[in-house]
Structure 1
Amino acid sequence: MKSILMTFMGVGTIMNLTAGNLSEDRTDQPQTGGGKVLTMEEAVLGYQLYPKNLYIQWQGDRNVLTYPEGTNLMGEVAGKEKPEVLMTLAELNRLLEADLKGWPQYEWKDGRTLVIMRQGKRYEIDTDKKVLAYVFPIAKGAQNVTSNGQELLAYTKANNLYYVDANGNEFAVTSDEDPNIVNGQTVSRNEFGINGGIFWSPDGKQLAFYRKDESQVGTFPLLDINSRMGTLREIKYPMAGMKSEQISLGVYQVASGKTVFLDVDDFGREQYLTNIAWSPASDYIYVQVLDRAQKHMKLNQYSAKTGEFVKTLLEEQNERYIEPLTPIVFLKNDPSRFIYRTNNRDGYFSLYLCEAATGKVLKRLTDVNADVEMVGQDDKFVYYTSAEVSPVDNHLFRVEVKSGKKTRLTQAEGWHKVTMSGDMKYFVDNYSSLKVPRVILLVQNDGKKVKELLKAEDPTKDYNFGEITLGTVKSADGKFNNYYRLIKPMNFDASRKYPVIVYVYGGPHSQMVKNTWQAEMRRWEMYMAQHGYVVFVMDNRGTSNQGAEFEKAIHGQCGQAEMADQMEGIKLLKSLPYVDADRIGVHGWSYGGFMTISLLTNHPDVFKVAVAGGPVIDWKWYEVMYGERYMDSPHTNPEGYAKVSLIHKARDLKGKLLICQGAIDNTVVWEHSLSFIRECIKNNIQVDYFPYPCAEHNVMGKDRIHLMQKVTDYFEDYLK
């Protein structure tokens, strides 16, 4: 067990890259003193330069590890020494009548059936007999394909929901013609843990689905310049304080072809329905119903057959906000009890054992002061990962349901990602730490190591990189340790004064600093360190993995606690003898773009240069679900919105600022940055602006090389 306060010193490597020609870059050629340096393309797109990995899946309910290796799909029985070939690429090509050069993405339907989606068809392959079990034709334009685990596939086309049987017969579940009505797709802009809109019952005979009515939601125009005259594409965009979408949950009975809608009317038509769960017997549906203000949640039970409300099992209230993220999970060996996850009771995301009939909380299963996430269960134990060792480490534990006895199952320091076997007797432990590129182990469910599957070499050994340090700075309120990553310049000279680039995100559901290989560092950060910069990244209050109080400190005034914490980081930087306090820059995207401009305009005497990408400028122009959770409504919190708006901060701009934005950004719409530019013009403030045509919220692919070169050049021109 290591201390929560940890500082790692000394690792100075990243990415095993081929030496490139930097003559394309405007950045000065660094004096390497031996070792390679990154090209911009390698820094941005060098995906192949990560440590070697094994893309392991368990073979359904069998204790067999499967992974592609060369042209073969390998299978390795847990506990046996040598893997075997489950299927060759040649055998797969024969079955698919294809000429694939490598293994495609796949999944396991059960212990013998391999599933591959290809060219509008879903292939189910019996790997024991090496034959096709089923071929499901998927209609053109079909999306959100979801299997019932048997012989039916549901999917959406346009705004309606369909399913197809094993004979290729297609059936319409919905037939709405109104373009404002959307069935079977994700809702609430993927907030509240929502990542789909189709929910098969355990018996595969019923299909629950979201129905979204956007008729009251305003539209925002996006300009498509790909045609000669240009066209406008309008998207539905519910802004904070304005009309939102209305969600229903339908249940379709396959046998009868009839649909009922759940009788959900707790908080009006703009309530949120999330974390959908079925009872093991497929007779009830459980929904976490949240009011639009996101301060009151009810866990309700409904009849799947009639849609009638049965009872409210649990309620949560919080004057700041409630954010339900996880459906309830019934115990495998006891359907009279379920596991419920929330951070609204004991200050951390914890697992609670509850009585299914009444919702009564029987016990807190994970009695630790750390956020936890359930990863599986067997007849005796619940398995979970948590940050209880350290906020920058992730470990696997198990707790005995009956006694509450806890056991730590992963021992090496670092960030562990685990994949449990179907019967929970084994798990694959894929971990790394600051000094360890990657190790993959096969481990028994009691923590006993069975076999080392992979120990990746350091792919950066031939490179000359700066030293990476992990450390902590006290939050501005003195209550928390904020973790940071600091990278020193290549060939560091303690007698010199170096410019600093602060990279910031700072928003909810993020963690930029972890005890992973190179501490979650982006290669561009090391590229800048190679060119003579100190690079600093810190997770402030409002980010993840340190409990509810840490996360909710930003409520009602986004940017304020975050800035206060970041300025504590600046104090640390200024105390370092090798930092030039007159040359500090800041860069961030999205919430980080908001933070970048906030820091530059609120602390103009500290930050000399800034590059902000896709920045939120005024939260009243952001979407309802996210914006109202953290800021409330503009009608109920006008002072908070006014305080953190950057529109009137334009006049305080002193340093150099470059704003970049995708021209068809559908997340942070163009109104934000253009409004800030207009305000700069009103105040005769010069600012630099660069739109990326046809890019959405993130600039991807080779265009990203152009983006990061532009960011780099801006710092080179005005900071260095």
Structure 2
Amino acid sequence: MNLKYALAIIGFLTTSLIYCQNKQITLEEIWSGTFRTEGMQALHSMKNGKQYSILNFDRQTRNSTIDIYDYKTLQKEITLVSSEEIEDIEGFFDYTFSEDESKVILTTNEVPVFRRSRLGEYYVYDINDKSLIKVSEELVQEPTLSPDASKIAYGYKNNLYVKDLVTGKVEQITFDGEKNKIINGITDWVYEEEFSFVRAFDWNKDSNQIAFIRFDETNVPEFSMDVYGSDLYQTQQVFKYPKAGETNSIVSLHLYDLNTKKLSEIKVDKSYNDFYIPRIQWTNDTNVLSAQYMNRHQNELDLWMINTSSNVSKLVLAEKDKAYIDVTFDLTFLKDNSFIWTSEKDGFNHIYHYSREGELINQVTNGNWEVTNYYGYNDKANTIYFQSTENGSINRDVYSIKLNGKNKKRLTKTTGSNSASFSADFTYFINTHSSAITPPEYTLNSAKSGEVVKSIKDNDKLAQKIGDYKTSKKEFSTINVNGNDLNMWMIKPADFDETKTYPLFMYQYSGPGSQSVANRWNGTNDYWYQMLAQEGYIVVCVDGRGTGFKGAEFKKVTQNELGKYEVEDQIATAKKLGELPYIDESRIGIWGWSYGGFMSSNALFKGNDVFNMAIAVAPVTSWRFYDTIYTERYMTTPQENPSGYDENSPINHVDKLKGDFLLIHGTGDDNVHVQNTMRMVEALIQADKQFEWMIYPDKNHGIYGGNTRLHLYKKMTNFIHETLGDKRETRVEKEQESSNIKG
């Protein structure tokens, strides 16, 4: 760490003691990017293991470049691609190399569809002859180069196409695709959202077969959203959305052979009813495809190996869990087609090594901590690299370990959040480190020892800038609630005086497997919390039961009863904190977004003797309104578990409202539909409960665009001041005053 940077950090740590640093954070600064961090965009390790590439953009010339850097010197060696030298495009904002790095896909324009899906304009640039080929005149999805870089496959209007980059010929390989009926090779809405992927097709090793998942969503119920726009009449967005207990897409696995031009369905040697195929991936054998099948309850996961030349399938791994199984991207095939797999089967997420036949060779990692990322396997050193919580559940470190489970080594030395990007030959890794007191810094590290070779980039200018503001340290601790030690952070005003009392404002998310209490650098909300702290509030966040990285038992205790134990923990936490001499127990509020909005609503209603106010943004108000995959993973279906759905949904507890309530939603939310808020509003009205609410026209689940975020946070800040501030007037007082006037 250089002296300049160290001084900046010291300045940040001692902010609350230096009264000359009294500049106040404003909402305008938070949402204008004043506190934005610098990073390394689109980092890619080159196959030679000696170089890496970065996407750079010159704001003045509007020129995009893919620049190659040397790992050892960190010096730029060459500009591989420059939009300035390509006549047909003005610039690009993303890139993807072919497997052999002879070609690169340049992204020049993209239009969002849903959270992860995009329609885009793409070009293939040949590194050797500097030629440029437009993938399609239409906006397409998920363009993917074949391993030999001779072809590119993509989705268009629910069908799959392959373009020969030598001849320019385009071959359509499916023909039955139709909106809201059949999708080939691209996931439907619920798979995209809950299984976290869009491209549902994959090239085999020899570039002559494409396996893909077909979705028949004909019988999936439709959901429609009004799009108000600026025209005289509104339009509608209509899409298939399976709510809990309703019909899912019928999925099937298919294969297209580019040599024979034959399209066929792949079937495994087991009869499944109402199932998912959350992952497909070719092995190193050109004719062997792996496919993961999962039952609708998501507590059984089967890994199949399918020989596409003989049509023989073999079940090599079958996992079961009393609650549910999380699907990951951690399946990795080694040269002999043995494979690396992660599982929670011993109570914590760990790495396992299996033979190609599915026989357990050994459990590679073990202990009362979680593997949180698998980075890769170095076959020359017989070493696996991974990230874990061994140094505390709020921290992340990078480790190496031999394939046989021996010689585990912590490679990162600084406490906080560490993540790695390894060179292709595993000589180096670029480590990204941050903590609550250290903004992101990027260093080149030795993969063998973990020692820092060189500093690449830091955010010392940001650290110095923050030193000019009145800020407070984020204090990490645990709080014992309902028999569990829960992770907690607290931010107090910089001029905190323990002889005074302060209102308490709590934030949480609390969704299954989530984490909000983590030792990492500020997100945008953290600056908002700092602003509130300097305006006289104590801000707290606690991860209760059901959250992640403390073992399967802690996480899965909420099974079949989402919103019960999590809410009990937030209420008990508020009660316990309210007993502190410097917290005003008559002024306690809570807020959250999405699952957090579901939680804050429940906390205010069920904990009406503790919480005086709540803000709920884009909340689920009844799990009956949410999608199949997410909801049923934790709740089974409403037909099987009606009490679990209804007893813990805030819409059924509106009669308990006593405090102040602000409800916020975007009408264009394709994820948590505004239906949730509309039904909550009607329930509140019929229960004769006064509340505040705000609707953002055509805004999605993120509620952003133009001035939207600033407006939203002004709205919430004003509500906090009105309900928790020194001059607050509670809802009960307002209703009593109104009643007296009428009397």
For the criterion TM > 0.5, the same-fold answer is yes
- Percent of residue pairs identical: 28
1:93 corresponds to which of 84, 99, 111: 84
1:75 corresponds to which of 63, 68, 79: 68
In the other structure, the counterpart of 1:420 is 422
Indicate the SS of the match to 2:620: coil
In the other structure, the counterpart of 1:670 is 674
1:118 aligns to 2:108 (yes or no): yes
Contact 1:303 1:310 (C-alpha < 8 Å) held by counterparts: yes
Contact 2:615 2:662 (C-alpha < 8 Å) held by counterparts: yes
Q: Work out the CA distance in 1 between the residues paired with 2:483 and 2:301.
A: 30
**What's the CA shift for 1:693?**
0.5
Write the letter of the residue equivalent to 1:152.
K
Contact 1:594 1:615 (C-alpha < 8 Å) held by counterparts: yes
Contact 2:300 2:320 (C-alpha < 8 Å) held by counterparts: yes
Contact 2:608 2:658 (C-alpha < 8 Å) held by counterparts: yes
- Relative distance call for 1:587 and 1:717 in structure 2 (3 A) is same
Q: Work out the CA distance in 1 between the residues paired with 2:672 and 2:523.
A: 28
1:615 corresponds to which of 607, 614, 619: 619
1:154 aligns to 2:153 (yes or no): yes
- Relative distance call for 1:606 and 1:10 in structure 2 (3 A) is farther
Structure 1 residue ranges without an equivalent (≥5): 1-8, 16-30
- Relative distance call for 1:294 and 1:402 in structure 2 (3 A) is closer
- Relative distance call for 1:709 and 1:391 in structure 2 (3 A) is same
**What's the CA shift for 1:520?**
8.5
Q: Work out the CA distance in 2 between the residues paired with 1:242 and 1:98.
A: 46
In the other structure, the counterpart of 2:598 is 594
Q: Work out the CA distance in 2 between the residues paired with 1:267 and 1:44.
A: 53
Indicate the SS of the match to 1:592: helix
Contact 1:419 1:428 (C-alpha < 8 Å) held by counterparts: yes
Q: Work out the CA distance in 1 between the residues paired with 2:208 and 2:306.
A: 17
Q: Work out the CA distance in 2 between the residues paired with 1:309 and 1:420.
A: 37
Render the CA deviation track for 1:480-530: whole Å, top value 9, x for unaligned: x32122111243233321112111111024211211124895322222223
Mean CA deviation greater in 484-493 or 41-50: 41-50
Indicate the SS of the match to 2:721: helix
- Relative distance call for 1:176 and 1:285 in structure 2 (3 A) is same
In the other structure, the counterpart of 2:563 is 559
In the other structure, the counterpart of 1:367 is 366
Write the letter of the residue equivalent to 1:441.
T
1:448 aligns to 2:451 (yes or no): yes
Q: Work out the CA distance in 2 between the residues paired with 1:145 and 1:614.
A: 33
In the other structure, the counterpart of 1:349 is 349
Q: Work out the CA distance in 2 between the residues paired with 1:617 and 1:121.
A: 40
Render the CA deviation track for 1:141-173: whole Å, top value 9, x for unaligned: 211222223121111112111121213321111
Contact 2:12 2:437 (C-alpha < 8 Å) held by counterparts: no
Contact 1:485 1:537 (C-alpha < 8 Å) held by counterparts: yes
Indicate the SS of the match to 1:106: strand
Q: Work out the CA distance in 2 between the residues paired with 1:694 and 1:283.
A: 47
Write the letter of the residue equivalent to 1:394.
R
In the other structure, the counterpart of 2:97 is 108
2:325 corresponds to which of 322, 326, 333: 322
**What's the CA shift for 1:420?**
0.8
**What's the CA shift for 1:703?**
0.8
Q: Work out the CA distance in 2 between the residues paired with 1:208 and 1:616.
A: 36
Render the CA deviation track for 1:8-63: whole Å, top value 9, x for unaligned: x9996799xxxxxxxxxxxxxxx986432222122234266225657643234341
- After TM superposition, the structure 1 = structure 2 runs for residues 137-286 of structure 1, keeping only pairs within 5 Å, are 137-149=135-147, 150-166=149-165, 167-179=167-179, 180-187=181-188, 188-226=191-229, 227-264=231-268, 266=270, 268-286=272-290
In the other structure, the counterpart of 1:18 is none
Q: Work out the CA distance in 2 between the residues paired with 1:521 and 1:718.
A: 20
In the other structure, the counterpart of 1:584 is 588
Mean CA deviation greater in 361-370 or 582-591: 361-370
**What's the CA shift for 1:314?**
1.4
Query: What TM-score comes out, normalization by structure 1 length?
Result: 0.89
Mean CA deviation greater in 444-453 or 628-637: 444-453
Contact 2:571 2:610 (C-alpha < 8 Å) held by counterparts: no
In the other structure, the counterpart of 2:483 is 477
In the other structure, the counterpart of 1:6 is none
1:59 aligns to 2:46 (yes or no): yes
In the other structure, the counterpart of 1:437 is 439
Contact 1:275 1:328 (C-alpha < 8 Å) held by counterparts: no
Indicate the SS of the match to 1:465: coil
1:711 aligns to 2:710 (yes or no): no
Q: Work out the CA distance in 2 between the residues paired with 1:111 and 1:176.
A: 34
Q: Work out the CA distance in 2 between the residues paired with 1:281 and 1:529.
A: 58
Write the letter of the residue equivalent to 2:473.
E
Structure 2 residue ranges without an equivalent (≥5): 1-8, 59-64, 110-120, 726-743
Query: What TM-score comes out, normalization by structure 2 length?
Result: 0.87
Q: Work out the CA distance in 1 between the residues paired with 2:414 and 2:560.
A: 40
1:399 aligns to 2:401 (yes or no): yes
- Relative distance call for 1:482 and 1:133 in structure 2 (3 A) is farther
Write the letter of the residue equivalent to 1:678.
E
Render the CA deviation track for 1:518-543: whole Å, top value 9, x for unaligned: 48953222222232211111222212
- Relative distance call for 1:162 and 1:466 in structure 2 (3 A) is same
- Relative distance call for 1:84 and 1:50 in structure 2 (3 A) is closer
1:340 aligns to 2:341 (yes or no): yes
**What's the CA shift for 1:622?**
0.9
Indicate the SS of the match to 1:554: coil
Indicate the SS of the match to 2:557: helix
In the other structure, the counterpart of 2:472 is 466
**What's the CA shift for 1:647?**
2.2
- Number of aligned residue pairs: give it: 683
Write the letter of the residue equivalent to 2:140.
A
Mean CA deviation greater in 155-164 or 584-593: 155-164
**What's the CA shift for 1:565?**
2.0
Mean CA deviation greater in 177-186 or 106-115: 106-115
* Large movers: runs of 4+ above 6 Å: none
Alpha-carbon RMSD across the aligned residues, in angstroms, is 2.6
In the other structure, the counterpart of 1:35 is 22
Indicate the SS of the match to 2:645: helix
1:495 aligns to 2:486 (yes or no): no
1:698 corresponds to which of 691, 697, 702: 702
- Relative distance call for 1:34 and 1:429 in structure 2 (3 A) is closer
Contact 1:192 1:324 (C-alpha < 8 Å) held by counterparts: yes
- Relative distance call for 1:233 and 1:710 in structure 2 (3 A) is same
**What's the CA shift for 1:241?**
1.2
Q: Work out the CA distance in 2 between the residues paired with 1:117 and 1:231.
A: 30
Write the letter of the residue equivalent to 1:467.
K
Contact 1:387 1:395 (C-alpha < 8 Å) held by counterparts: yes
- Relative distance call for 1:219 and 1:70 in structure 2 (3 A) is closer
**What's the CA shift for 1:677?**
1.2
- Relative distance call for 1:143 and 1:178 in structure 2 (3 A) is closer
Q: Work out the CA distance in 1 between the residues paired with 2:531 and 2:471.
A: 9
